[in-house]
Chains A and B, each alone.
Chain A
Amino acid sequence: MLRFVVRRLLQLIPILLGLSVLLFAWLRALPGGPAQAALGERATPEAIARYNELFGLDQPLYVQYLRFLGRAVQLDFGNSARTGRPVTEEFLERMPGTIELTLFAMVFAIGVGIPLGYLAARRHGSWLDSTSVVGSLLGVATPVFFLAYLLRLLFAVELGWLPGSGRQEVRIDATRITNFYVLDGLLTREWDAAWDAFLHLVLPGIALGTIPLAIIVRITRASVLDVVNEDYVRTANAKGLATATVRRRHVIRNALLPVSTTIGLQTGLLLSGAVLTETVFAFGGVGSAIFDAIFARDFAVLQGFILMLAVVYVLVNLLVDISYGLLDPRVRVR
């Protein structure tokens, strides 16, 4: 198992290197190049020249790349053109919010999706089955930001049941420790702050979780329908095991294998969707920062954020692969 993990970690290196080349090239290829990216669109030619000299941009490309790589390893992606603060600092400040949001969305998608998909398969052909199939198709076809607007309009603006913007009520002067607002509230025993931060997660979390939910329902349903017809389920029944044992040990366990792979892939969708959802709900996470950076043409932020999000995505997929190895013994020996 350890060797499996180490091998997977080693396989990450070329991918991360490739990523850095790609994003390095991306910044060079931008109109105006990195100097403009760092200084903003209104920078004077003199300022650009000074910047180029200062950061060695007049040197050969490979030297520049190595320097970029050296700084990237130390998580130094320069400063934001908009705020002047280091990109990494902004990222670390905003990432906890996005993590909270994606966790909520994933828990929602898994918590609802797997039971629903399982029930749909058990009652194959029933109205519950048809409804969940139609619903999951609709869920995938709906643009995330539209759903987010709809939820916000209905539950926040019209009905006023849940907060529709931000991460926490401004009036609550909560203490910050980790920037995970819910966690902070719990750590400092400011229960109302934690509860309020949690409520702020509900609408964006549901909007964000809908597509993964739809996909998880479909995969679980299809997978359970497949597994139920497997020979080993017949064997388990031939052994006269109790229905609950057959389901738990022989059906669900195997049916969850493809579902777990999908969950890893969904992280990409979640990070993509976070850009849209956070923007709609003015949720101060990484996603809304990317949206702001696009509008402000803040390329340093875009480069750093995309690179760091890609690393997060790759790491999450690694974790999923490892957990897959735990679930399926056949993968481990390979």
Chain B
Amino acid sequence: MSAVGDVRRRRIDELAARAGQVPEGEGGVSLTRSAFRRLRRNPVAILGAVIVVVFLVVAAFAPLLAPRDPLAQTLLSEIRPGFIPGSQPGFPLGVDELGRDLLSRLIVGSRQSLLIGVVSTLLGVVVGMALGVLAGAFGGWVDTVVMRFVDIILSIPSLLMAISISVLLGQNQWSLMIAIAVTQVPVFARLLRGSMLAQRGSDYVLAAQALGIRRRRIVFGHVLPNSLSPVIVQATLSLATAIIEAAALSFLGLGDPDLARPEWGAMLSNAQDFLSVRPELAIYPAVCIIVVALGFTLLGEALREALDPKFRR
């Protein structure tokens, strides 16, 4: 027997040994791990992630990064009707209609957008999931009542819903967040319910039931964790929607009235009056909103693709 043969022989033996085993599903790679691996290979995901990370870093360190005080009306004296000074030394993006440094306002404004986006989405996720789990876990009349309620909320176009809530709660940043959150609730409620119903008939839940495991443990220990990936995907996408919707509410005069907190949506709506004088005042905050919304959307879509078992290979 030749030496080469020995090497080859060992290779066959290895394969033969494997052949003797019960074939493993995915070679033992967990869903999250393989999803992460696929995310890293996806340029769209990387672009989205980079945008989101930059946004988060800017928001976190905004006071350190902003070159000037976003509220100081430094160049107020130079503003005349029909003229707002543009880019100049010390003010790379120029100033707004009150002579405040635009760059600093954009940097600090990221915090407010992040806060509104995260808080409203979290609220929407928590309430929506609670309703969805309630409907999905109990079924029957609970399901009917909850889903009718969700249908009613869904029957009002989302911005009109947000307007009603905002008008009701008065004009402050919390009412803004709650208004946006309410429009997100039905989405998550339906998502969770659908996912739980789909799993209720699945073999592993039946198996768990057959083993006599209590319903609460099945729901919280098995079904809920398995429903989380679509929720994560939807939440990422909802962050984008929330930031855009916040801008729309600002435009309608339902935004945060506290002028001490620069916010992209409010900056954009204010700038509409000076569009013919200095369109940049509108364009910069708009670009910020678009890029951040795009970042969350790209990341969300890439996550969806990575977590969807249909795409797994």
Interface size class of A (residues with CB under 8 A): 35 or more
Instruction: Tell me whether A143 and B160 are in contact in the complex, defined as CB-CB below 8 angstroms, given that A15-B152, A302-B167 are known contacts.
Output: no
Count residues on chain B whose CB falls below 8 Å from chain A CBs.
Answer: 39
Query: Is B167 a contact of A275 with CB atoms below 8 Å?
Result: no
Query: Is A138 a contact of B168 with CB atoms below 8 Å?
Result: no
- Would you call A327 an interface residue if the criterion is a C-beta within 8 Å of the partner chain's C-beta atoms? no
B267 to chain A, nearest CB (A): 11
Q: Which residue of B lies closest to A21 (CB)?
A: B152
- Would you call B149 an interface residue if the criterion is a C-beta within 8 Å of the partner chain's C-beta atoms? yes
A10 to chain B, nearest CB (A): 13
Query: Is A30 a contact of B152 with CB atoms below 8 Å?
Result: no
Query: Is B253 a contact of A313 with CB atoms below 8 Å?
Result: no
State which of A22, A29, A149, A295 has its C-beta within 8 Å of the C-beta of B253: A295
Query: Is B289 a contact of A143 with CB atoms below 8 Å?
Result: yes
- Would you call A203 an interface residue if the criterion is a C-beta within 8 Å of the partner chain's C-beta atoms? no
- Would you call B205 an interface residue if the criterion is a C-beta within 8 Å of the partner chain's C-beta atoms? no
Query: Is A143 a contact of B268 with CB atoms below 8 Å?
Result: yes
A277 to chain B, nearest CB (A): 11
A302 surroundings in chain B (CB, below 8 A): 163-164, 167
- Would you call B35 an interface residue if the criterion is a C-beta within 8 Å of the partner chain's C-beta atoms? no
Give the CA-CA distance A313 to B279 in the complex, in Å.
35
Query: Is A137 a contact of B252 with CB atoms below 8 Å?
Result: no
B214 to chain A, nearest CB (A): 33
- Would you call A114 an interface residue if the criterion is a C-beta within 8 Å of the partner chain's C-beta atoms? no
Query: Is A141 a contact of B290 with CB atoms below 8 Å?
Result: yes
Query: Is A269 a contact of B157 with CB atoms below 8 Å?
Result: yes
Query: Is B286 a contact of A310 with CB atoms below 8 Å?
Result: no
B1 to chain A, nearest CB (A): 49
Instruction: Tell me whether A15 and B148 are in contact in the complex, defined as CB-CB below 8 angstroms, given that A143-B244, A295-B253 are known contacts.
Output: yes
Query: Is A22 a contact of B152 with CB atoms below 8 Å?
Result: yes
CB-CB contacts of B242-271 with A at 8 A, as 1s and 0s?
Answer: 001001100111100000000001001100
B175 surroundings in chain A (CB, below 8 A): none
A181 to chain B, nearest CB (A): 24
Query: Is A310 a contact of B298 with CB atoms below 8 Å?
Result: no
- Would you call B69 an interface residue if the criterion is a C-beta within 8 Å of the partner chain's C-beta atoms? no
Query: Is B160 a contact of A15 with CB atoms below 8 Å?
Result: no
Give the CA-CA distance A306 to B272 in the complex, in Å.
26
Query: Is A275 a contact of B163 with CB atoms below 8 Å?
Result: yes
- Would you call B92 an interface residue if the criterion is a C-beta within 8 Å of the partner chain's C-beta atoms? no
Query: Is A142 a contact of B160 with CB atoms below 8 Å?
Result: no
Q: Which residue of A lies closest to B296 (CB)?
A: A141
Which residues of B approach A to under 8 Å, CB–CB?
A: 148-149, 151-152, 155-160, 163-164, 167-168, 170, 240, 244, 247-248, 251-254, 265, 268-269, 272, 275-276, 279, 282, 286, 289-291, 293-294, 297-298
